[in-house]
Amino acid sequence: MGLISEVTPISYNDDLPERADVVVIGGGVIGVSSALCLAEAGLTVALFEKGRVAGEQSGRNWGWIRQLGRDDAEMPIMMEANRLWQGMAGRIGADVGFRTEGIIYLAESEAAYAAHEDLLDTANRHQLMVERLSRADVDGLIQGRPGFWAGGLRCPGDGRAEPWIAVPMMARALKDRGASLHENCAVRALDISAGRVSGVVTERGLVKADAVLIAGGAWTSLFLQHHGILFPQLSVRATVARTARAPNVYGGGAADSALAFRRREDGGYTVAFTDHFDFFLGRSAFRSAFYFAKSAWASRRSIALRPAAPAGYPDAWFTQRRWGEDDISPFERMRVLHPTPTPGATERIRKRMSERLPALADTPIAESWAGMIDILPDTVPTMDSVPGFDRLWLASGFSGHGFGIGPAAGRIMADLIQGRTVEHDLTRFRFDRFTDGSSIQLGPLI
Ligand SMILES: Cc1cc2nc3c(=O)[nH]c(=O)nc-3n(C[C@H](O)[C@H](O)[C@H](O)COP(=O)(O)OP(=O)(O)OC[C@H]3O[C@@H](n4cnc5c(N)ncnc54)[C@H](O)[C@@H]3O)c2cc1C
């Protein structure tokens, strides 16, 4: 497969430019999509990635491109993202593995089926085509244990793609459009002159820019803390596995309250828990506890508390919060955040898979990995400028569903940076919603 880690060779090591119209921090789907739109609009763009393009969340996720189960305010953006994914291969001249095979929210019981009503209401409000499935419908669509699921909701227009192919291919298209790309090159800090952001200080030197976009995934909060800016973002560990080639039991993605599975282009399945995330306590966790009270309560059954993150993680106890521009920063100390899977998870995932999908009972698990999902207190992202810092933009906190929406988030950020009108209502995604006295409106949980 292609899980990208620190041992993956560097693909981009361009000469450091003196300046760019826009500097983008982070080579995940959000940074790359934003940079691609900016480069297509004719701007000079320099993208900095401390490790490897798609090395973190954007290359470790399930590959679901789903509209179903989105927050009301995200839905129109996600519907646009779906259209952008459909045109991606033509746009960048490379197959990203996008297939419209439909995603199913499965329910093991009538009660769980009823709990999906909210999702259906949201879909209906946005004229998103969703099918209600009976027990027999599910049995007809998924070659699983007959009668195991009481029903489900299926969005036939939802899709899947291969993250570790898609994002690197988009980065290649970005390079073809003239952007400079810099892997293994961390941005240590913002360069600020006369109260304006005038560029960035990278580990290789200063780059001036008219605008800077932070798309640093799980590291965004730490980066901002260094400049005294509060961004209440935390991370949870999620474990994923892939099977060897397997019989085709369903061509899209599906999940119930315990297991998610998704057909892969290599003929296997990506499989994962839907009810287990590890949360490592750290200094930011305590500082942001107030903001996360609602989401912590809502997800209390699926979160396992761990006393400390491994050394070097963004919220590990001893990770530096302040550093000088000439010092090695925490971003260089951990090039690729590469968590070990939750102990025992692979075997438990396999067991759940065999219970539900007997046709896969003899299919071996070929690999397992984990990723740190960055989350915000209301489980929707921030896409905005950073108040008090002229020409500083931020797109982060996609809370477990940023891969699918990435191309549209990128288009939005590119429009904002160029001062163009954005057709979507972005009020829900404003930066200061956690500090302006608004109450936290929890979106659908990850
Ligand atoms: C296990 C798992 C399953 C998921 N499943 C899905 C799914 O099926 N569908 C979906 O839509 N979403 C899913 N997600 C969520 C999705 O992957 C993320 O929301 C999305 O990838 C976030 O993209 P990003 O660009 O914001 O962050 P990332 O992909 O994490 O990229 C941020 C990058 O910024 C770099 N960086 C940080 N700080 C600096 C710095 N100072 N200098 C230079 N570079 C820096 C990092 O190295 C990193 O590569 C899943 C996530 C995980 C972990």
Residue nearest to atom 38 of ligand 1 (CA): 216
CA 311 – CA 104 distance, rounded (Å): 38
Identify each DSSP E strand in 303-427 by its residue range. 303-306, 365-375, 382-385, 392-396
Is 398 within 8 Å of 381 (Cβ atoms)? yes
pTM: 0.98
Distance, CA of 249 to chain centre: 26
Q: Say if ligand 1 is within 6 A of residue 64 CB.
A: yes
Q: Say if ligand 1 is within 6 A of residue 31 CB.
A: yes
Per-residue pLDDT tens digits for 251-260: 999 999 999 9
Per-residue confidence (pLDDT) for residue 251, from 0 to 100: 98
Residue nearest to atom 37 of ligand 1 (CA): 216
Q: 117-125 and 75-86 are packed helices; what angle lies between their axes, rounded to 10 degrees?
A: 70
Residue 111 in tokens: 């009660």
Per-residue confidence (pLDDT) for residue 321, from 0 to 100: 93
User: CA 206, 209, 215 angle in degrees (round to 5)?
Assistant: 90
Q: Say if ligand 1 is within 6 A of residue 102 CB.
A: no
Mean pLDDT of all residues in 100-108:
97
Per-residue confidence (pLDDT) for residue 446, from 0 to 100: 63
Pick from 4, 403, 405 the residue to mutate for probing ligand 1's pocket: most ligand atoms within 8 Å of its CB.
403
CA 387 – CA 432 distance, rounded (Å): 8
CA 269 – CA 246 distance, rounded (Å): 7
* Inter-CA distances, 31 with 109, 151, 176, 286, 417, Å: 40, 38, 16, 29, 13
Q: Say if ligand 1 is within 6 A of residue 384 CB.
A: no
Q: Say if ligand 1 is within 6 A of residue 338 CB.
A: no
Mean pLDDT of the chain: 96
Residue nearest to atom 21 of ligand 1 (CA): 58
Ligand 1 geometric centre to CA of 406 (Å): 10
What ligand 1 atom has the least distance to the C-alpha of 238? 1
CA 28 – CA 339 distance, rounded (Å): 17
Q: Say if ligand 1 is within 6 A of residue 48 CB.
A: yes
Per-residue pLDDT tens digits for 166-186: 999 999 999 999 999 999 999
CA 152 – CA 60 distance, rounded (Å): 26
Per-residue confidence (pLDDT) for residue 127, from 0 to 100: 97
197-207 b/e (C-beta count within 10 Å ≥ 16 → b): bbbbbbbeeeb
Residue nearest to atom 19 of ligand 1 (CA): 402
Per-residue confidence (pLDDT) for residue 436, from 0 to 100: 94
* Inter-CA distances, 227 with 41, 197, 224, 297, 344, Å: 30, 12, 5, 31, 39
Closest CA to 422 of 408, 406, 401: 408
Give the type of residue at 13: N
CA 274 – CA 327 distance, rounded (Å): 40
Pick from 8, 50, 57 the residue to mutate for probing ligand 1's pocket: most ligand atoms within 8 Å of its CB.
57
